[in-house]
């Protein structure tokens, strides 16, 4: 149900904000459409079924993409050289080709004429097979939702992070039994800086578990089991960010994850990933998310951990509007835009709760059909667990009053240590109590038209429009370089991964991009679901 507007926002101001966001985003979209990256090319190989790694853990997709780049460059993409080598050489599969390429035994070329047409046809068939598999996994999700049921909003979102996938699984299942609707397996610290995706099930990670295809498969199967047990679908979240964003998004689609952290600027600001690399990788990753029916979670909450949550409130709105524009252009619907924001105002500030309500209600009204993800307090958790538990209850109350869609549970031991299972149990009890006690309180919460909350919301929106005007004129890359978001300066040619960015040449060919650009991802999913139902015996 679309929430009713309560803040009396000027529709023309809202339209202006979106127009400016679109103008600011356009040069970035054009850059993404005219460039590729090593990870985009490796994602194509993964869609085509190439998996595995050498004895040292270096994936075959890296070996193959690097060999092509060294010999003929990536300006035309990997598809033509790779499938030409498959068709003209003694290689029964991509794996054997990649293994020989790693040993320096393959000579790649850019084919022409009939050879090029044959390579294109073979590459298209391989990409189509991978995308068809993503479509089937999306149809599987739809079937499970019909079979076991979908929990009502707000969904309770909980993080599991032991470093060992075989420890994560029982903890995730226990969390689901205690009320979690979404389980996020946080990644091992620093994985976003790796320019490869580890292989296999992993048992060693620091403050998180490595994102791998096998770990995705194991956790999805475990949550399917507990979903059937509980009679409600439990969603799985991971992280499509960093230097391998397109590949991780592809693996998530192939293994039926439901949500992925995927923000337009988080990796730039907080992980020092090159801005150009990030935006190019992100467009492809979001196209995959759109096709797979995955809900993205954006990271605006992080800005408020480094900047003041009152002074910088408008930067959250600006980032959300940019994330919306980039997401729509890549094919995501409103229902897939899990835009993020957070309860991070200093609780000692007089009227802090009213300010939080103003900000949360503004986001809810600007994006009425988006499954908003509301993040708990972290910056001002002092170690006083009793005050922290109370602050989390206020956060849960704000989420219910303003109709948030996804509520990440707050821990009273936030910032002290990795939470114990007992801490998690108490946190789940807190959010369950508030959710049950409030019921449909959002229907009754209506701020006075000219009261503090409505006026504060309109002021933040006006400041957002002013900032968007500057960004549209000066350029988003310059705004990031100036420290506009999260008070962190990131120049366009700085950071990690710029050497993996390649401008497309005339004749560039990537059959996955061709399919994703040309087809409506949601119509394709509907067709797949209908086909699957036709195959079910009466």
Ordered domains of the chain (ranges, CATH): 1-32+300-333+343-483 (3.20.20.440)
Q: Is the pLDDT of residue 119 over 70?
A: yes
pTM, full prediction? 0.94
Q: Encode 286-342 in three state secondary structure.
A: HHHHHHHCCEEECCHHHHHHHCCCCCCHHHHHHHHHHHHHHHHHCCCCHHHEECEEE
When mean pLDDT is compared across 58-62, 263-267, 503-507, the lowest value belongs to 263-267
What pLDDT score was predicted for residue 529? 57
- Taking all residues of the chain, what is their mean pLDDT, rounded to a whole number? 94
The whole-angstrom distance between residue 46's C-alpha and the CA centroid of its chain comes to 19
Give the pLDDT of residue 538.
35
Q: What percent of the chain has pLDDT over 70?
A: 97
| Res. 421: pLDDT tops 90 | no
pLDDT at 378 over 60: yes
DSSP label at 380?
T
> Is the CB of residue 103 less than 8 Å from the CB of residue 67?
no
Taking residues 447-466, report their average pLDDT.
97
Dihedral, 33, 38, 44, 46 alpha carbons, nearest 10: -150
Q: Return the structure tokens found at 399.
A: 């989420």
Q: What is the mean pLDDT of residues 61-73?
A: 98
Which of 6, 84, 233, 373 is the catalytic position?
373
The single residue listed with the structure tokens 């499938």 is 83
Instruction: Check if the beta carbon of residue 225 is closer than 8 Å to that of residue 177.
Output: no
2 pLDDT exceeds 90? no
pLDDT above 60 (res 532): no
Tell me the backbone φ, ψ of residue 476, rounded to 5 degrees. Answer: -65, -40
| pLDDT of 537 strictly over 60 | no
CA atoms within 13 A on the CB side of 419: 21
Residue 433 annotated among the catalytic residues of the structure: no
Please report, for residues 13, 364, 416, the alpha-carbon distance to residue 16 in angstroms, rounded to integers and kept in the order given. 5, 18, 43
**DSSP assignment, residue 506?**
T
Sheet hosting strand 337-338, strand order edge to edge: 337-338, 295-297, 259-261, 235-239, 182-185, 155-160, 406-408, 373-375, 340-342
Q: What is the pLDDT of residue 247?
A: 98
Residue 301: active-site member: yes
Rg (CA), the chain: 23
The SS3 call for residue 530 is: helix
* pLDDT, tens digit, 9 for 90 and up, residues 182-232: 999 999 999 999 999 999 999 999 889 999 999 999 999 999 999 999 999
Residue (of 288, 173, 205) closest to 240 by Cα position: 288
By CB neighbour count within 10 A (0-12 exposed, 13-18 middle, 19+ buried), where does 333 fall? middle
Question: What are the φ and ψ backbone dihedral angles of 185, each rounded to 5 degrees?
Answer: -95, 100
Distance CA 462, CA 495 (A): 32
Query: Of these residues, 100, 263, 301, 392, which one is catalytic?
Result: 301
Catalytic residue among 266, 303, 374, 508: 266
Whether the Cβ atoms of residue 410 and residue 427 lie closer than 8 Å to each other: yes
Which of 197, 261, 246, 259 has the alpha carbon at shortest distance from 59?
Answer: 197
pLDDT band at 531 (very low <50, low <70, confident <90, very high): low
Q: Is the predicted pLDDT of residue 22 greater than 60, yes or no?
A: yes
Tell me, yes or no, if 266 is annotated catalytic: yes
């Amino acid at each position: 149900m679309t929430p009713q507007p309560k803040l009396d926002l000027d529709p023309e101001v809202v339209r202006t904000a979106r127009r400016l966001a679109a103008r600011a985003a356009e040069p970035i979209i054009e850059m993404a459409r005219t460039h590729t990256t090593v990870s985009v090319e490796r994602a194509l190989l993964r869609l085509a079924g190439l998996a595995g790694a050498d004895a040292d853990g270096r994936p075959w997709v890296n070996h193959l993409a690097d060999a092509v780049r060294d010999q003929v460059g990536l300006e035309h993409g990997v598809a033509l050289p790779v499938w030409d080598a498959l068709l003209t050489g003694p290689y029964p599969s991509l794996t054997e080709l990649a293994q020989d390429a790693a040993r320096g035994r393959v000579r790649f070329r850019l084919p022409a004429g009939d050879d090029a047409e044959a390579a294109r046809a073979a590459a298209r068939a391989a990409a189509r097979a991978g995308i068809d598999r993503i479509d089937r996994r999306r149809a599987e999700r739809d079937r499970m939702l019909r079979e076991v049921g979908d929990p009502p909003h707000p969904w309770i979102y909980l993080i599991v992070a032991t470093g060992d996938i075989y420890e994560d699984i029982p903890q995730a299942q226990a969390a689901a039994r205690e009320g979690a609707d979404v389980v996020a397996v946080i990644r091992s610290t620093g994985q976003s800086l790796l320019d490869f995706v580890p292989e296999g099930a992993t048992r060693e990670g620091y403050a998180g578990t490595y994102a791998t295809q096998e770990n995705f498969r194991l956790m999805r199967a475990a949550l399917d089991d507990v979903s059937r047990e509980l009679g409600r679908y439990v969603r799985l979240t991971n992280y499509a960010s960093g230097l391998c964003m397109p590949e991780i998004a592809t693996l998530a689609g192939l293994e039926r994850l439901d949500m992925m952290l995927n923000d337009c600027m988080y990796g730039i600001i907080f992980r020092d990933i090159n801005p150009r690399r990030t935006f190019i990788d992100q467009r492809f990753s979001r196209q995959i998310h759109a096709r797979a029916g995955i809900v993205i979670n954006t990271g605006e909450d992080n800005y408020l951990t480094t900047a003041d949550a009152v002074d910088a409130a408008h930067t959250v709105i600006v980032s959300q509007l940019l994330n919306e524009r980039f997401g729509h252009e890549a094919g995501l619907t409103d229902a897939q835009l899990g835009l993020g924001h957070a309860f991070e105002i200093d609780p000692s500030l007089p009227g802090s709760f009213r300010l939080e309500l103003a900000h949360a209600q503004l986001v809810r009204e600007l994006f009425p059909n988006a499954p908003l993800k509301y993040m708990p307090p972290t910056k001002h958790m002092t170690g006083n667990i009793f005050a922290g538990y109370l602050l989390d209850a206020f956060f849960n109350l704000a989420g219910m009053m303003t109709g948030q869609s996804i509520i990440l549970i707050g821990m009273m031991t936030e910032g002290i240590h990795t939470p114990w299972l007992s801490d998690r149990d108490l946190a789940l009890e807190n959010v369950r109590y508030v959710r049950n006690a409030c019921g449909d309180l959002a229907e009754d919460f209506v701020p006075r038209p000219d009261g503090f909350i409505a006026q504060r919301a309109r002021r933040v929106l006006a400041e957002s429009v002013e900032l968007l005007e500057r960004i549209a004129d000066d350029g988003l890359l310059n705004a990031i370089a100036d420290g506009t978001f999260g008070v962190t300066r990131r120049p366009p040619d700085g950071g990690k991964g710029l050497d993996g960015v390649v401008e497309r040449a005339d004749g560039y060919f990537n059959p996955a991009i061709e399919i994703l650009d040309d087809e409506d991802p949601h119509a394709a999913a509907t067709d797949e679901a209908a086909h699957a139902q036709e195959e079910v015996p009466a």
